[in-house]
Structure 1
Amino acid sequence: MFLSSPHIYSQILYVIAAFSFPIHLFGGYCILFKTPKAMRSVKWTLFIMHFWASLFDLSISFFGQPFICTPVLAGFPLGLWSWLEVDTGIVMFLGFTTAFLMPISVIKTFENRYYILFADRTVWRYFRYPFFVLNYILSISSGLTTYFMIPEQSYARSVIFERNPDLLQFDFPESPILVLAIDNTFNKYRQFALIAIFISEIMIFVLLIRWNTNNAMKDMKISPSTLRLQKNFMRALNYQIAIPIILLCIPSVAGITIPTLIQDHQAFNNFVYVVVSFHGVLSTFIMVYLQKPYRDVVLKMFGVDVTSNIRVAHSVDRITGSVLF
């Protein structure tokens, strides 16, 4: 299949980068300059989440372009870092770190909602910063551990080429295959553990927000208009995060299981990375579509009159103040 070719794979990723980069910029512009004052407390968490999602996309489609030589944990970069002759191990570390810092930004977004709405006067205000420091340490140390465990290459390469002679066709003098691990079992378990931890943290904050919102509604601590806006914002945020996560999870699981059932597993693995490189673009589209202030920016660009909607939004802002956002 043509996707097995490193050259074709790289060119496809460059096209995706050229398409996605202006979309990422537009999403950042909307957050920084079109976020209403009523949403000021969520502005920077949204931007940080958008930044890491965009950087993750571009690390695949432009900066790194990882060509992972399945079924082993080995490969080489094809993107900008390769042209700049950055050490392949460093490129790997940057890729792993970016991939794990992205979910932390998602956790931070939900934690921000929980803290501002319900926990700013609780004991959580003392634990939230150590909590995120620990998450950052886990993310960075994961990439560092893989980097420092890279085996001696002459021996490692002889082992994997003996086991997988088909990989020799991708081993070029200008971009030699780097073997990250001869046995990938430890790395898989560590990554699965981190993913499980991050998903659990996201779910905990989602449940805490829902539980406290329901209690506040019963105790009449939140006005109906504020409650409605809170639910709309959280629904939009849930879609913005859940749909791209599905886009990440389905190809990732397929990338582990399907290659064992098909002959051209290298092409399929490359296809998985092509699909995953759209993660941030899809997240940006969903954010702009579901968050009304950003959707109005797009409508105005196409000449749609949103003046009446803006008046209604401003009226609601005066009612709710900064309680919600």
Structure 2
Amino acid sequence: MISSIDNYYSTNYSKCNLSESFLASWKGVAYPTDFIQIFSLPLQILAFYIILTKTPVQMKSMKWPLFYNHLFCSIFDVILCTFSTIYIILPMLGVFTVGVFSWLGIPIILELILLTCSLLSLAFSYIYLFESRSRAVSQNPFKMSRKSTRIKYYSYLILSYSTIFIFLIIIPSDQETAKLQALQAYPCPTQEFFTFPILILNSDSTTSTFIVIIFMPIFIAHSVGHGVFHVTWTIWYLYVAPSNQVSIETQKKQKTFLKNVILQFSIPSVFILFSVAIIFTSSFYSQEMMNLGVDVAGLHGIGESIAVIFVHSPYRKAAGQLIFRWNDPQSSTRVSAVRGNSSAFTI
């Protein structure tokens, strides 16, 4: 066995034929995600402003679910793109961060916990958004109208989500030995493996394969399943078995808003799913593609903010009013007239 990391770097590593591309380096995740966040932040702030100040009466019951969803999405995006931008080396499950927190000296394990919590909160907020929409359909027998039931349900979700922290249990305490074992399985990582304070989450290839190939897909399916459950029964009692006691106009608005919420979820999810697909297909192995997967995940913030603003008709019209007022300050009379008809917004 190689006696030390330094000895390996000076002997064995010199024989590797490595790519020195920009995308494979730490800069390939740090710079693109910073650039993405520059464009995301104004859109995120605009979405917050519109949700809080421009939500019409017809959408009042969904104002806070929309707000919380956008809040947790924004927190995740800011952490991923700015504070704890992650550089992942697969298949050895090695990670380090190149965000603001890493330059401040915050331990990487704390950054991973923060990043994981923000990702779980994002998933949690989408489930809450769909559950709130399901609860608004009066004839739905599966809606959780009682507060105690919702507390039990979301407590269960939090407990099930906490299983992801299993990676804290399997992190090797002897990182020097773990790095040497990882190098035996994958002898030619990028130079960042030796120049950055990398943390090996697990050096056993069997356990790593289980986490990446089995545990994570099951975990993702569990989260998606809850959202699908709430959406399915909402669709059933709006389209297949609608209530005769609810007016056609109300049902029409509920259908429209359900379509908008699904679209709001689908647009940013494309970036996450595409990112996950890139990461899984690049596991064996391309560091450029791995970093590209992280960069694509960073686009979630732009997609989510644009979806919030433009999918819902009242928010889209409110954004148009703001732009119209900024471009033509003399048109305040016309803007006021449009505002006066805000009650006519449909959802």
- Structures share fold, TM-score greater than 0.5: yes
Measured after TM superposition, the shift of residue 310 of structure 1 is: 5.1
Aligned residues: 312
Could you say what secondary structure the match of 1:118 adopts? coil
Supply the AA of the counterpart residue of 2:281: T
Match of 2:221 in 1: 196
Q: Pick from 114, 138, 160: which aligns with 1:94?
A: 114
Of all paired residues, the percent bearing the same amino acid is 25
Does residue 74 in structure 1 map to residue 94 in structure 2?
Answer: yes
TM-score, normalising length: structure 1: 0.87
Match of 2:9 in 1: none
Match of 1:42 in 2: 62
Q: Is the 8 A contact 1:92 1:147 kept in 2?
A: no
Deviations 1:190-224 (A, max 9, x none): 2222211111111111111111223663x422212
Q: Hey, what's the Cα distance between the residues in 1 that align with 2:222 and 2:142?
A: 24
Q: Hey, what's the Cα distance between the residues in 2 that align with 1:29 and 1:236?
A: 19
| Inter-CA distance 122–19: structure 2 relative to 1 (3 Å threshold) | closer
Q: Aligned-residue CA RMSD in angstroms? A: 2.4
Does residue 114 in structure 1 map to residue 134 in structure 2?
Answer: yes
| Inter-CA distance 226–179: structure 2 relative to 1 (3 Å threshold) | same
Supply the AA of the counterpart residue of 1:95: L
- How do 1:112-261 residues align onto structure 2 when only pairs under 5 Å count? 112-118=132-138, 124=144, 125=146, 126-143=148-165, 145-152=166-173, 153-167=175-189, 169-173=191-195, 175-183=196-204, 184-188=208-212, 189-214=214-239, 217=242, 219-260=243-284
Does residue 23 in structure 1 map to residue 47 in structure 2?
Answer: no
5+ unaligned residues in a row in structure 1: which ranges?
A: 318-323
Could you say what secondary structure the match of 1:203 adopts? helix
Q: Hey, what's the Cα distance between the residues in 2 that align with 1:190 and 1:90?
A: 22
Q: Hey, what's the Cα distance between the residues in 2 that align with 1:107 and 1:123?
A: 13
- Where in structure 1 do 4 or more consecutive aligned residues deviate above 4 Å? 119-123, 304-313
Q: Hey, what's the Cα distance between the residues in 2 that align with 1:121 and 1:204?
A: 13
Q: Hey, what's the Cα distance between the residues in 2 that align with 1:306 and 1:244?
A: 31
| Inter-CA distance 315–91: structure 2 relative to 1 (3 Å threshold) | closer
Q: Is the 8 A contact 1:296 1:306 kept in 2?
A: no
Measured after TM superposition, the shift of residue 121 of structure 1 is: 8.7
Match of 1:314 in 2: 343
TM-score, normalising length: structure 2: 0.82
Q: Is the 8 A contact 1:67 1:75 kept in 2?
A: yes
Q: Hey, what's the Cα distance between the residues in 1 that align with 2:190 and 2:310?
A: 46
Q: Hey, what's the Cα distance between the residues in 2 that align with 1:316 and 1:259?
A: 48
